[in-house]
A and B are shown apart, each in its own frame.
Chain A
Amino acid sequence: AQSVTQLDSQVPVFEEAPVELRCNYSSSVSVYLFWYVQYPNQGLQLLLKYLSGSTLVESINGFEAEFNKSQTSFHLRKPSVHISDTAEYFCAVTTTPQLTFGKGTLLTVNP
């Protein structure tokens, strides 16, 4: 069985500040890891994924996440956030076709 823990349910930050959204997973086998984002009144969108290779993965809008096998973590970071980054972020893990999601972290970026 696998599980995902997102340590913060809400993260408020000011615009242009750095942010880290934490994600830890539990699995008895090797996993694939994902971050999805859900903007208000929209569906889930894939932000970035770790499948293999380099442990640091990046998205097109400045987010990055680092896979740390020893810490069983896949934290999401951005050095400078924008108002438009306000959304709910979900970490997910899979070893089988279906995804197992964490409970989500609501990122609120304030001016």
Chain B
Amino acid sequence: DTGVSQNPRHKITKRGQNVTFRCDPISEHNRLYWYRQTLGQGPEFLTYFQNEAQLEKSRLLSDRFSAERPKGSFSTLEIQRTEQGDSAMYLCASSKSDSSFITGLAPSEQFFGPGTRLTVL
């Protein structure tokens, strides 16, 4: 399977604990994105990487959240001191960089993983 994979698929934790999620993108994709989806809402952007560089972070990404992408391959998203409001589906997506498109400007398709569902008790 050459799609985007995420682990674990489900995580239940107690309030105050730290959790870490992993995303493995499609191998030739140099962009990696994290989104969060809560019940009844569409996915909301959290952050994205171009290779190993974290280029943008949403205001949704509080100080308790940190994301890394060492060596520009897989990525981890850590939430420290979890709160009940952190309960959500965390989605990872990957894409080629836009410069690979023939038009030079149009965005490349983002391919999404199955998500990690976090429940904070």
Contact = CB atoms under 8 A, between A and B. Distances in A.
Contact of B48 (A97, A101, A102): A97
A44 B41 contact: no
A100 B114 contact: no
B107 A44 contact: no
**Size class of the contact patch on chain A:** 20 to 34
Contacts of B93: 44
Interface residues of B, number: 28
A103 B41 contact: yes
A70 interface: no
Contacts of B35: 99
A46 B42 contact: no
A101 B43 contact: yes
Given A32-B107, A51-B106, A90-B43, A44 B33 contact: no
Interface of B: 4, 31, 33, 35, 40-45, 48, 55-56, 58, 91, 93, 95, 98, 103, 106-107, 109-115
7 contacts: A4-B42, A6-B42, A44-B93, A51-B107, A90-B43, A92-B42, A98-B33
Given A98-B58, A103-B42, 5 more contacts: A6-B42, A9-B40, A51-B107, A98-B56, A101-B44
Interface of A: 4, 6, 9, 32, 36, 42-46, 49, 51-52, 90, 92, 94, 96-104
